Amino acid sequence: MAVKTVVAVMTDLFFLVQVTGAAKPLGLQVVCVKDKATALEKVKAGAAGIVVDLTCSGAEPVELVEEAKAAGCPVVIGFLPHVMTDLRTRALDAGCDEVLARSAFAQKLPELLAGM
């Protein structure tokens, strides 16, 4: 059975360590990328889903969400500071399956990854 890949679009090492730690017991491989083009390559190669820090400006996160969903990405989960309500709305409108505040994301991470 092939290993499922989750694309982590983020620059914050704290969250990357959390994603990697939660993915390992589920048998998921995490690939960290920092730009939209590389993330979309991974989606087109069959990634199980994307976890995106919606404040990662170098990755053009809202555009990434829209293009990833258009390319057939099964699951796109975004996280951001809870005060960024406009960005949350834009990410949901672009196709994010779920957008969570950072604290809720960290708390629900194993459950979120299990759905990929």
First-last CA distance in the chain: 15
Whole-model pTM: value is 0.93
What pLDDT, on a 0 to 100 scale, did the predictor assign at position 1? 57
Pick the CATH number of 4-114 from 3.40.50.2300, 3.40.50.300, 3.30.1330.10, 3.40.50.10800: 3.40.50.2300
Helix (H, G, I), strand (E, B) or coil at 56: coil
Say if residues 80 and 102 touch (Cβ distance below 8 Å): yes
pLDDT band, residue 107 (cuts 50/70/90): very high
What tens digit of pLDDT does each residue of 33-65 get?
999 999 999 999 999 999 999 999 889 999 999
| φ and ψ of 29, to 5 deg | -100, 135
Say if residues 7 and 33 touch (Cβ distance below 8 Å): yes
| φ and ψ of 36, to 5 deg | -65, -45
One DSSP character per residue, 65-89 reads: HHHHHHTT-S-EEEEE-TT-HHHHH
What tens digit of pLDDT does each residue of 16-32 get?
999 999 999 999 999 99
